Every structure is written in C-alpha cells, then in structure tokens.
Structure 1
Amino acid sequence: METRSATRRKEAAAASPAMGTRAAGKSKTTAAVGARAARGNNQAAAAKKSEEAPAPALAIAGTRSGQSPPPEVEIDAEAEPSTRKRPQASGPEEGKVEGEEGDSALAKRVRADAEEEEVDDEEEDQEAAQAFNFRHFWNFLFSAQANFEDITDVPPMRHTDDPDAMHAKCRDAVQVYSVEVKQIKCGLQWPIEVFGHVAVRDSIDRKRNLIFNRGRDDCQTLTAEGITETEDMVLSSLAFTFNCMCADYKVKRHMASNKRSTVQITFALIPETVEATFEVKGIDGSWDPSLRPHFFASTHDLPSMKFVLLDPREGAVVVSDNNNVRLTRSVISVQVLGGLKLTAEALNDEKTVVHRTTVIFKPQRAGRIDGFLDFNCCKMVVKVAWSRLSIC
C-alpha cells in the first residue's frame, strides 16, 4: 500500500482495501475496507503476511469462481520513502545536548526517537523479507504452472447449469470479510487514500485472485478530511499463509504492523459451501440520486459478519444500459445447509438509513433464484446463481 495526503474531501472507505495510500487530515482510527473474496471480482481488501510457507491444505478462494479465499494472502505495493525527520540537537541557545550521555530533556527525546525509528526500520525490513520469502517459495513450488503476477482466469458460476458435475462438491472455503487500516504512524495523517492490489491464492490454480485492485488515479479514501499533501509511501506490504486443515470455523483476525501502519484482515473458514453470485437489476422506477446505496449479505452461520456488496461510500448507484446495478463485489461462499440474507439500505447525506429492505435465500447446489427489493422510489430484482466448487 502507498500513502499520500489529499486535499479533497471524501468519505471514509469501507469497500475494498488498497495497496498505495495518500495521507492527510486529522488522526483517528478508521476502518478501511469491507472486503470479501469472490471470484470474478476486480476489487478487494488488504492482507498480511507471515513467515509460514504456503499451506498444503485444500483451500478454495472466494474471489475467483466464488470459491472462498485462499490459504495465501498477499498485499503488494511500492512507494517513496518516508520524509519524516529525526530531531537534531543544535547550538546552546537552541537547546544543546548536554553531557556525553545526553542528560537533557532534548537529548532524551533525540535518543527515544532514534530508538523508535530503529525499531520501525527493523519491522519494515522484516516485512519486506517475509514478502520476498513468500514470493521466492511460491516460485519454487509453482513457477512451472504460472508466473507470480498472473491473475486467475477461473470464472464464477462454473457449475450453475451443470448440477450433475461429478467433480463439483460443497467444499470448505475461506471467506474474507474486511481489511482495515487500524492505525497509521510515521507522520501520516488521516485521511489516507490507498491504491495497489490485494490478492489471495488458493488450491485451484495458485494464481492471484484479486479482491482489491486500484491504480493511483482511482484511490480509495479512508477518512473524511484533507489538509496537506505528502509524497507517496508504502503503507503495507504483507503476505501470510492460512492452513485450512488445522483451522476451526470461527472468525479470525490477522493483524500486522510496520513503521507506517497496522492492518487487520478479518476472515473465516466456512464449512460445506456453495458459491453465490449476485446480480441486481432495476425493474420499476429509478433510484433517488440524493440517496446512497448500501447492500450487504450475511449468513445463517455467522449472522454478525457483513459482506459488503455495494458500499455507500462508493457514491451513488451506477446503473448500466440494461438496468444492472454495478456492485462493488458480487460473489461469496455460503454454507449449503445454512441461509443467506441480503440487506439493502438507502442512506441520506447524514448517513441516516431512510429505507431498509431484505430478502432471504435458501442456498442451492446449482441453478438460480430471484428475490425482490422494494424501495419507495424503485424496485429491484436480485438474481442469485448457485454453484458447487471444484479444483479442476
């Protein structure tokens, strides 16, 4: 991730994480992204890295064909070095450092800042080393199959219209819910605008399954106010491995820090899943342009966890020529014996919900189901395509 400050006013981000960032404004902790892994998505959330090698477990990533996120999660980014300066002692009239050991208050501050920067530099070096090792080990195992930068070409809905496919099953899958920038450091200020990519890899083809992907000219803003402009910097460069074979089905949070940020990714291993691919289409009336849409899904097994399909901070509803609503992301993994609820909200400029409507679906092994959202200004149909998962 990269960072740079922004002078324009935007609202906090919550849909997808980002690699690069721009920083500005007042300092406060802000949730960065509500991301999920879903095949066929071009956007995503931020991830971290660990010292583990890629897990041998069968993991399906929910960004490609809807199959949940993978055992390997990476965040790549580049940026200019920080411009933060260390305090320096000067002449006596300005507060000279006294004594060989530096006994003055200024000397103590200088020493403390120097020690802090040493720790920060070590953290950044360690993060970079882990990212390098991840790439090196991946190339060692899978370079004969693909290049490290290759993006998965496995589509969603592979078995929606093939209910009798012998190799398709209801498999355990990892679902990524969000990536959050919990803290920024090293002189960065809110808001920050992030860009770059977040990707997950799984057992299907080991290629990048993008859950977030934005260029520098299409940043995601993580807070609301901008004051000054700073140069681009690496916010986060992480990679970590998750072993599905040894995991339970509880929500997990992986957190990592470097000299500029603390980032947290929230995910869970979901048992016996099918892929749900969403399509939303207007059928009557038109959306009130003064209102912002908030569409999110939740499941019976983890009702408190929201999977954002359309984030209000992305702006007004965007509708194509055939009345299809452009979603932030459209594929999730759902437990086949559970339930799926889609909630749609309309928010005003004060972020107050002025209308809310829900539709509940019973997961299927294949085929399609329609549901309806009834707003005061318009009606929409929600089409859900179901598919079992396969690794071939």
Structure 2
Amino acid sequence: MGGRVGKWGVAMGIEGDGEARPGSPVRRVATGEGEAVGGGEANARSPRRRGVKVKRALRRKPLPPRGEKQRPASPARSSAPAEEEYSHREEDAITRSRRIWERRWAGRYGAFDNETSIGPMRYTFKPLTPEYLFTEQTVQIFSIRVRAPTDGLRWPLHVHGHIATRDSMDQNRNYLFRRTRDNCQSLTQDDPSLLLTGPSRAIVYLAPITFEVQLKVKGEGESEDEMLAFGAFYYDDGSACEHKLSICYDHKRCMLEYEVALRPRSVEATISLKVVEGSWPENHRGIVVAITSGIDEKIALLRCRDRELPIGPDGVIELSRRVVSVDLGEKLLVAVDASLSDFLARGTAVFNPVCSGMSHGVCDLGSCKIQVTVGWSLFVIVV
C-alpha cells in the first residue's frame, strides 16, 4: 500500500505487513492472537510522574494460530476485489479485533462496544489535589475528511457508521463520528468533511491511541449498503507536539484525512452557549467555532447547513461538539456566526485557560446576546 507524505514531511502510509514506515505517526493495529487492540500495558499504568517518559510498547508481527502452517502469499491480483470479498475481509477483521480486545480488556472495561463512561468536567468543581491532578498531553481532532472514493463509489456518499478512539483514560470507545443508517450524512466532493460529534471528553495521550473506523455507504436497501472504510490504527507521534498534522490513512475504498495536533500541556475546556437577550435572527443558520491561539485551525462546534439553529425553550444552543483541549498559556476564542447574504452578524468571546472552575463571556450579534460558558478541568489517570 502506497505511503503518503504529510505536511511536515512525515511518511503517513502503512506498509503491507502492518508496520508503519520509519517516522510515521500511525501504524496498523495487528490482528494476531498475541496483540491487543489498544495502547498496550502502558495504558494501564498508574499516574505518571513529572519528567517520566512513557515507553512505547513493542509490537510483534502476527503469528499464525498454533498448529496451523504459514500459508504462502497469494499472487497479486490485476483487478480490485469484488464487494463480497471486501465484506468477508472486513467482517473477519472485525471479529479478530473484538476477540483480541476482549481477551485483554474485557475484565476491566466490559464489552467491546461500550462507550467511555468518563465524561467531561470531572474536576471542574472539585478541590485541586496537585499530587494526582495534572495538565496532560492530549490529541486535538480538528476534522476528518473522506478522499478519493474508488471501486465504483461515486459522490455523493450517504455515510453511516462510526469513528472512535481508545486512549489512556480507558479502553472504551470515545466517539468522534457516529450515525445510524436512518440518519446518514451526505458527503459531496466539494464538502467531504464528516460532521463530528465528539470526542465526549479530551483524548489523553500517554500511550499510543487507537483509532477505530467502521463506515458504510447507504444503498437502496440495507442489504445493498457498501463498506466505505474499516480499520484500526495506532496514533503514536510524540515528535510533533506543537504542530498540526494531516494524517492520510488509506483504506480499501477511500482515504481518510485527519487534521490533528498534540497539545503538550493542556487542560480540558467544555463549552456551552445560551441566548440570554434578544432572539436569533429568523431563518438564519449558524456556525460556532473554537480556535486556540497556539494553532491556526478552526474546531467546528456546530454547523447548521440545511436547518435552523437548534435552540431549546430555555435558550440553550445544542452544540454538536463541546470539548476542546487548550494549552495553558494560550487563549481560547469562541466565535458565533449568523451571517446570511448581505446580513452580517458575528460575535466572539476570548478566554484565558485555568485549571478548574467556570469562565463566562458574551457574543453580541446585535439581534441577540449569547452567553458562552467554559468549564475547565485537569486530568487524573488512575486504574
């Protein structure tokens, strides 16, 4: 499988045996019986001390099951595999990943399909205990795009399924994207970005993070749905702490492009919005974004493309995403945009991150005022 070279000159591709090229921040999760889907034993360690580096787990190439001889390599094929062959391979991979995860983690974290039970704002209101609460290195996800669909797939793509991470906080799914078949998202070549709904809490990077992908394209009937992307890979790149990376990961029928950044000394910011004066301009859609001063990239918290802004009876605006990682020493900017044709209405609120408690600001759009509230929290890693 061909490699991709990212913005910072890092090889992003995965070689055929499942090992990443030297310097690559991603590597395919092994599906042999001796490997776990997850970050290895490093994930189960007690809170690290300052200045102590977490060693990366060694990974072996998968071995054939005991008593079974190694099969010779299949000859190269000149044409793409049929859809039925894709499905069989994908289902086999899903089964292996589940079995390996359950052997290693089920006793501690429950079922393979469980969502993380750790929520945001865990230490927003609790007294600080410096011996256990820390700023931590986290991974900020900016966007995920679908690129270059192949093997008969054509735009638009009606996508459902999920993308999730498993990190050092626990080994359960922290969903970035999740849609049912009845609520699929239509992607076009001009706008191939998935509307992310997570993470539900910050993604902590103490050991390699697992990205898990299961995406399908909706057909006329459920039996005609086609696999778009399935896979699992580790994100493991401590060398790009203060830069944004474009990670291009090849799947069989498309490429997924992840815009991510490591935040080396971050706190968790949980954002909420509420209309406190006036009213949202009628028939105007809205965009809410967050930006940190350290990286010039927008984090879309809400994008209303074809519907009214979701405002409850109490004025609370329902955001798609609300958790952002912010380094201490940076600033967090939250911007609300209600622009439409010749009507321009934008408001911003700026915050200095703190270790705990709540911060408040106001976005004044003219027709209404929106209160922005941020809950700050540190992290504790316990087992």
Question: TM tier, shorter chain?
Answer: 0.5 to 0.7
What does the per-residue CA deviation read over 1:326-372, in whole Å, with 9 as the maximum and x for residues that have no partner? 00111111112211111211132x6x882222211100100111111
Counterpart secondary structure, 1:239? strand
Q: 1:157 to 1:313 in 2, by over 3 A?
A: same
Contact 2:231/2:251 (8 A) holds in 1 = no
Contact 1:285/1:377 (8 A) holds in 2 = yes
How far did residue 224 of structure 1 move?
Answer: 8.8
Of all paired residues, the percent bearing the same amino acid is: 30
Contact 1:273/1:333 (8 A) holds in 2 = yes
Scaled by the length of structure 1, the TM-score of the pair is 0.66
Counterpart of 1:16? none
Is residue 2:173 matched to residue 1:208?
yes
Structure 1 Cα separation of the partners of residues 354 and 115 of structure 2: 28
Counterpart of 1:109? none
How far did residue 269 of structure 1 move?
Answer: 1.2
Counterpart secondary structure, 1:203? coil
Counterpart of 1:115? 78
Structure 1 Cα separation of the partners of residues 43 and 306 of structure 2: 34
How far did residue 384 of structure 1 move?
Answer: 0.5
Scaled by the length of structure 2, the TM-score of the pair is 0.67
Counterpart of 2:140? 175
How far did residue 321 of structure 1 move?
Answer: 2.1
Letter in 1 for 2:146: V
Letter in 2 for 1:332: V
Letter in 2 for 1:189: R
How far did residue 229 of structure 1 move?
Answer: 6.4
1:197-236 to 2 correspondences below 5 Å = 197-223=162-188, 230=220, 231-236=224-229
Question: Which of 382, 388, 392 is residue 372 of structure 2 equivalent to?
Answer: 382
Counterpart of 2:246? 253
Q: 1:151 to 1:124 in 2, by over 3 A?
A: same
Return 5+ residue gaps in structure 1 as ranges.
1-47, 60-70, 72-113
Structure 1 Cα separation of the partners of residues 299 and 149 of structure 2: 25
Structure 2 Cα separation of the partners of residues 191 and 294 of structure 1: 23
Structure 1 Cα separation of the partners of residues 242 and 289 of structure 2: 21
Q: 1:385 to 1:314 in 2, by over 3 A?
A: farther
Counterpart secondary structure, 1:184? coil
User: Is the deviation greater in 274-283 or in 337-346?
Assistant: 337-346
Counterpart of 1:137? 100
1:1-392 to 2 correspondences below 5 Å = 50-51=28-29, 54-56=38-40, 115-118=78-81, 132-145=95-108, 146-166=110-130, 167-223=132-188, 230=220, 231-243=224-236, 248-302=241-295, 304-313=296-305, 315-348=307-340, 354-392=344-382
Structure 1 Cα separation of the partners of residues 343 and 228 of structure 2: 33
Counterpart secondary structure, 1:379? strand
Q: 1:295 to 1:233 in 2, by over 3 A?
A: same
How far did residue 373 of structure 1 move?
Answer: 0.7
Letter in 2 for 1:339: K
Contact 2:38/2:171 (8 A) holds in 1 = no
How far did residue 151 of structure 1 move?
Answer: 0.8
Counterpart of 2:6? none
How far did residue 58 of structure 1 move?
Answer: 5.6
Larger Rg: 1
Structure 1 Cα separation of the partners of residues 330 and 286 of structure 2: 26
How far did residue 198 of structure 1 move?
Answer: 1.5
**What is the RMSD computed on CA atoms of the aligned residues?**
3.0
Return 5+ residue gaps in structure 2 as ranges.
1-25, 31-36, 45-55, 57-76, 191-217
How far did residue 318 of structure 1 move?
Answer: 0.9
Structure 1 Cα separation of the partners of residues 176 and 145 of structure 2: 14
What does the per-residue CA deviation read over 1:62-107, in whole Å, with 9 as the maximum and x for residues that have no partner? xxxxxxxxx9xxxxxxxxxxxxxxxxxxxxxxxxxxxxxxxxxxxx
